[in-house]
Amino acid sequence: MDGVTSRQGDPSSPAPAAPAAAWTPDPRRWRALFVTQIAGFMTLLDVSIVNVAVPSIERGLHASPQQVQWVVSGYALTFGLALVPAGRLGDLMGRRRMFLIALAAFVLTSAGAGAAPTAELLVVARLLQGVAAGTLAPQNSALIQDLFRGPERGRAFGVLGATIGLATAVGPVLGGLIITLGNGPEAWRWVFYVNVPIGIVALVLAARWVPRTTRRAGRAHLDLVGTVLLGGGVVAVLLPLVDGQSGGLSRWWWAYLLAVVLFVLFARWEAYTVRRGHQPLLDPSLVHTPGYPEGLLIGLVYFAGFTGIWLVLAMYFQFGLGYSALRSGLAVTPFALGAALSSMVSGRLVPRLGRWLTVAGLTVVAAGLLATALVLRHVSGLSAGLACAAPLFVAGIGGGMVVTPNITLALEAVPVKMAGAAGGALQTGQRIGAAMGTALLAGIFYATLSRGGDYGRAVSDALFCAAGAMLVALALAVAELVRWRARHRPQPHPRVTPARPEFELHRT
């Protein structure tokens, strides 16, 4: 018997609370999702598309290796730095407003990067472009939290997962195609210019289709101290990694100690902010939100193994086998196709299978990467790209089963009012993992070559390491699966037994 029924007829019982207003879906939600994913695709594409333009940038701007490294990695640094503060601003100021501001800034900075007359100005434009991309990204996941409920939310996160996987994987293909069509010393500029017309169209459509979201009532509290502490910690972690190929890992070793100190201070400051009755940048209660910290850690480890494989495969195909930029990109397309297909399907299966999807996906992607590593270790020559197509496709299917369910389940119990900051922190973990993995896999690749190994052995060693990261993520996902099953186990109905008297009257 429920609480309302048991109170009927009892005048001393308070009246039951009025039911909450029913949620009404916005009819524009799927069109809004479409346009936000176009914008998200562009920002994620710029993480990988620039890699194939590096030789052209070096020749066109006479850039030094350090400057080129900052063109590539500076974007990732400021991208990760902006995520959590931007998510918090979206929670306070409205996600539609922040989305439009960030998209306009991304279009302008893309144009600035394409028009940069010197390497120094290109680095500056890329840093600003990363800030714009990091401001836009958390609005995507937060808008899904706002606009979708129930099984529809799983499908919407499936689209987001497909966007992430596809953008990361097809970046080398599109970059190679643009460079090939440009066919000149200035062809690299079109890698940035291509964002301008697409971004303008997306901006016009977003102004029409993305609905306004509810802003937090009262005076906005931006938690500037928390922003500085968290931002400093993120910079301290990412800076040695993005400067890794220039000796940053040894030169910036002390930054990791500083990062620990800053993160501890950030946690203490956020707890103090809550005690004062103010809204923190990142609510400490998220640590205790079921599934959220586990999802953040799984995402960090997965992206550590996932993102770096594109760099080592590009170096293997282009430097080791002499592939063109376009052919090198086409060789990794099977992964992109597998990831896109499984992301769309897995989003629909999240309500039924939950964490089982993450476990299955990590198992499949680990198996696919192990098979790819073995193939490239024993198959050489121009046929290597074709030989690894099948295992890369299998790995892509597994990857598409990881990203979507993990995002959905990590944000499942997060209140909508925290969706922006929580989504930003989730993606910050992914960016940190991506930077760590790229530095680690590239380091293994070059270390094998320096010890006299050939390109096949170098890429194989790096892919074995990536598969190891997937197995670590799998162990974390299995542990979370046990907890997830416990949280979702149906509770038995309590048996009602008649009350027994505390004492009995004895007959005299």
Phi then psi dihedrals of residue 277, to 5 deg: 85, 15
505 lies in some domain: no
The reported pLDDT for the residue numbered 8 is 40
290 and 201 housed in the same domain: yes
The reported pLDDT for the residue numbered 507 is 47
Domain count, the chain: 2
Which of the four pLDDT bands, split at 50, 70 and 90, describes residue 80? confident
Contact yes or no for 193/109 (Cβ under 8 A): no
16 lies in some domain: no
The reported pLDDT for the residue numbered 287 is 82
- Structure tokens, 73: 């990695």
- Structure tokens, 112: 């600035």
494 lies in some domain: no
pLDDT digits (tens, 9 = 90+) for 418-443: 777 788 888 878 878 887 787 788 88
8 lies in some domain: no
372 and 464 housed in the same domain: yes
Which of the four pLDDT bands, split at 50, 70 and 90, describes residue 215? low
301 and 238 housed in the same domain: no
Does this model's pTM top 0.85? My answer is: no
Exposure b/e, 333-362, CB count within 10 A at least 16 = b: bbbbbbbbbbbbbbbebbeeebbbbbbbbb
45 and 83 housed in the same domain: yes
Q: End of a domain among 232, 264, 280?
A: 280
| CA dist., res. 226 & res. 135, Å (int) | 17
359 lies in some domain: yes
Distance between start and end Cα atoms, the chain: 41
Q: Which domain holds residue 258?
A: 223-280
Is pLDDT above 90 for 474? yes
| CA dist., res. 7 & res. 10, Å (int) | 6
Query: Above pLDDT 90, what percent of the chain?
Result: 27
196 and 208 housed in the same domain: yes
- Sequential DSSP letters for 187-225: TTHHHHHTHHHHHHHHHHHHHHHSPP-PPPSS-----HH
pLDDT digits (tens, 9 = 90+) for 158-170: 788 778 767 766 7
Higher pLDDT, 306 or 381: 306
13 lies in some domain: no
CATH number for the domain that contains residue 116: 1.20.1250.20
452 and 442 housed in the same domain: yes
Of 170-174, 349-353, 501-505, where does the model show the most confidence? 349-353
The reported pLDDT for the residue numbered 503 is 46
Residue ranges in 94-118 assigned as alpha helix (H): 95-115
What is the average per-residue pLDDT within 227-253?
A: 74
